[in-house]
Amino acid sequence: MIVATAITRDATMTDTAHRDGNVSAPGLPTLPRLSLNSPLALTGPVLVALPCLLAALLGMNTYAPYGADAAFGIAVGAAAVVAMAQTLILAARPPLVEPLFGGLDRMYRVHKWLGISAMVLMILHQQVEPDFERLVRETSLGDLGEEAGELAFNALLALVAVSWFRRLPFIGLEIPYQLWRFSHRFMGALIAIVVFHQFFVDMPAGVDPTFMLVLNTFGIAGVVAWIFTELLAPHLRRRDFTVSQIRQTGDTTTLTLTPRGRAMRWRPGQFAFVRAPEAGLSEPHPFTIASSPRPDGTLTFSIRALGGWTRSLPATLRTGTRVQVEGPYGRFDFRKGGARQIWLAGGIGITPFLAWAESLTEAERRDIHLVHCVRTQDEAIGLETLRAAVARNPRFSFEVIVTARDGRLTAERLISATPFAVRQADLWFCGPTGLKDGVLKGLKAQGQTPRRVRFEQFEFA
């Protein structure tokens, strides 16, 4: 869920918690975790792994007559090409594919690890490079393809390292988001060079064409996806809005946007990418939509100042400024949960819950208790929305915990404040990972582990 806690739009986002922040996304060298918010959550990862395995097996079988080293080198190289092509396809954010991963956050994690896996496979291909010099008739185009492959390999190695280690460990040095994103966009061009290498490098004649058909299909599909992402998607997917209201609460800026044309349709809990080129903020950043759908199509973003882009909003945006919104994305939906629910928000992680609370009607039959943890009272936003939800539906309740005054939220306090047994409820979370992990550890020790825990990853890169 990209709820601002979210995806790290300007800062690093880790779990659902980060999405709320409305931050920008840096890299995170940790293994991905999949919470099964959907029965399809593992379908996507399996579907992207199978073509890589198929390419490797076809390469191994096709070139087995030329020796084990040649077969292995071709197999890992083929798997690398297919993996790289799929990273470009996933980067295009195909809406029909997102549900197969359980949300865009998880799809981006698979995208990231596909890229890293492709890099490892390319290194293996370089180390065990097939030698067909005595078996092929060398051509100038083949020599060019081989040199192109070397160039692309070295450049991709550098870019993957930058993407993986955007925030350098131990020394705290962080590559600026704009520079990181600018360099990341070149990966598509480099992968296109790899596809050129694969097309034209000199290979033995007379081998089974099925293998090259698979590689060529994925290679072309990846390049087409990259061209779509860079040239067509910005014009086809973005909708024009106008800033109709700006409010400042502490370090949080709340924007109300009015559609200039056809309104966007979304579900409470989803997020969208926002950019304001008219104000010099041309880089798209993901934020959770902090309001439920309204008849006039207006939507609200509550964005906390967590980085350079978000800190500049109060000074650069004005009423009447045109902005562009792309979305919606995400599958964070409390209506997929049970009859008893706890909503736990940390800081700006409140944004998806504000949209949920606004959508509650008198007919809602779920018992819901919201806990919002903030450092100071000034950070508590959307209280009027929460109070209105309480007035509409007595089954909804909420409390705000100000840690500077009340201390940190503990499992014991959550248990005592919740009007129903925690172990019989679903826990929906958006906020800092430390808050989630600490509360869950305490609940487990108390024998009050929730039935299910739902959250979204917030680091996209």
The pLDDT tens digits for 44-78 are 889 999 999 999 999 899 888 888 888 898 899 88
pLDDT of res. 134 = 59
Q: Quick one: which of 272, 276, 254 has its CA closest to 263?
A: 272
| Confidence at residue 16, expressed as pLDDT on a 0 to 100 scale | 32
On the question of pLDDT at 300 being above 90, the answer is yes
pLDDT of residue 2: 38
pLDDT tens figures, 364-386 = 999 999 999 999 998 899 999 99
For residue 37, pLDDT beyond 50: no
State CA 422 to chain mean position distance: 29
Q: What is the CA radius of gyration of the chain?
A: 24
pLDDT digits (tens, 9 = 90+) for 105-155: 788 888 888 888 888 888 888 788 766 555 555 566 656 766 776 777 777
Look at residue 346 in the predicted model and tell me its pLDDT.
Answer: 93
How confident is the model over 164-181, as a mean pLDDT?
Answer: 62
The mean per-residue pLDDT over the stretch 400-408 comes to 92
Q: What would the pLDDT profile of 155-164 be if each residue is shown by its tens digit?
A: 777 776 666 6
pLDDT on residue 145: 65
Per-residue pLDDT, 32: 35
Give the whole-angstrom CA distance, residue 442 versus residue 450: 11
Asked if residue 33 has pLDDT above 70, the reply is no
Position with higher pLDDT, 330 vs 345? 345
* Mean pLDDT estimate for the chain: 81
Q: Are 405 and 379 in contact (CB under 8 A)?
A: no
pLDDT tens for each residue of 120-132: 888 888 788 766 5
pLDDT(333) > 70: yes
Residue 332 has pLDDT above 80, yes or no: yes
pLDDT at 49: 93
* Higher-confidence position of 319 and 187: 319
Q: Please give the pLDDT value at position 255.
A: 95
Q: Is residue 31's pLDDT more than 60?
A: no
